[in-house]
Amino acid sequence: MYFSRNQLRKVPILEALHEFMKKANDNGSISRQEAVSMVPPLFLDVHPHHKVLDMCAAPGSKTFQLLEAVHGSTGAPAPAPLPVLADQPLLPTGFVVANDADYQRCQLLTHQLKRMCSPCLLVANHSAEFFPFVKSGPNQQQPLRFDRILCDVPCSGDGTMRKAPDIWRRWSVTSGNGLHIMQLRIAMHGCRMLQVGGLLVYSTCTFNPIEDEAVVSELLLRCGPALELPAKASLPLQRCMRFLPHHQDTGGFFVAVLRLVAELPSNLELPASQRP
């Protein structure tokens, strides 16, 4: 659909379509989202038995998509039989934890996700880089580890310049420098909470390499062989995956898929000899 928001509101012939979309959105039948924003959750390859963490979830469109995947049938076998409630359909064994650092945005997140009416959702309000470890059960000492983690981190947002032209007036070459450390801390903490064999998707809506490739490169350097960028031999790191606005008439996006293949080293700080 290539109608703008203003066209949907103001063009008389589109009035019925606009009313239908509003009602369908309110009852959870549809969720309005830019096409390119759907890409990071798709790369996570979520199945009904997965434990999923969305570290920077608000306003919730990607979380809604992750929750749909948990409730969906993907054909992947679950590790244990699904529980059956009396006169109720089968429930997935997986769940989604949706976190955001801002309390007001968490309220918006809750409002958006309650349309799903899912018992497999938990909304949390923590700074992503300090998200707490929790026990995997009442009598368990080991912390809960997630199968899939989405790090759609705060960024300078220059990939959305077509729909937000004010960004161009505020933009400078140093816009992303102050965000790099926070983005790296969020991604590093995500790696610590990831189950061995699990996937972490790092994504931004900026083209700034300081916020994109530099973060991924630092992750790989600190985690060593425990973390891999799948297919990095055939897809050079400096490219990862970029979605350019003029290719598909979308906003701009950067996406990297990382897999944890072994336990992380206890000390993730770089030795002085390796620091730039």
CATH 3.40.50.150 domain range(s) in the chain = 34-74+88-274
Q: Is 61 labeled as ligand-binding? A: yes
181 contact partners, CB below 8 Å, separation of at least 6: none
Q: Where are the beta strands (DSSP E) in the chain?
A: 51-54, 95-99, 121-124, 146-152, 194-204, 227-228, 241-243, 253-260
Q: Is 191 labeled as ligand-binding? A: no
**Host H or E run for residue 83:** none
Going by pLDDT thresholds of 50, 70 and 90, the confidence category of residue 25 is confident
Class of domain 34-74+88-274: alpha beta
Q: How confident is the model over 168-204, as pLDDT tens digits?
A: 888 888 888 889 999 999 999 999 999 999 999 999 9
Q: How confident is the model over 98-121, as pLDDT tens digits?
A: 999 999 999 999 988 988 889 999
Annotated active-site positions, please? 205
What whole-number percentage of the chain has pLDDT above 90? 52
Distance CA 9, CA 200 (A): 38
Query: So what's the pLDDT on residue 170?
Result: 87
Q: What is the mean pLDDT of the chain?
A: 86
- pTM for this structure? 0.86
Residue type, 12: P
Q: How confident is the model over 114-163, as pLDDT tens digits?
A: 888 899 999 999 999 999 998 877 777 788 999 999 999 999 999 998 88
| Three-class DSSP category at 135 | strand
Measured between alpha carbons, how far apart are the two ends of the chain, in Å? 47
Q: Is 152 labeled as ligand-binding? A: yes
Distance CA 170, CA 105 (A): 23
Q: Is 226 labeled as ligand-binding? A: no
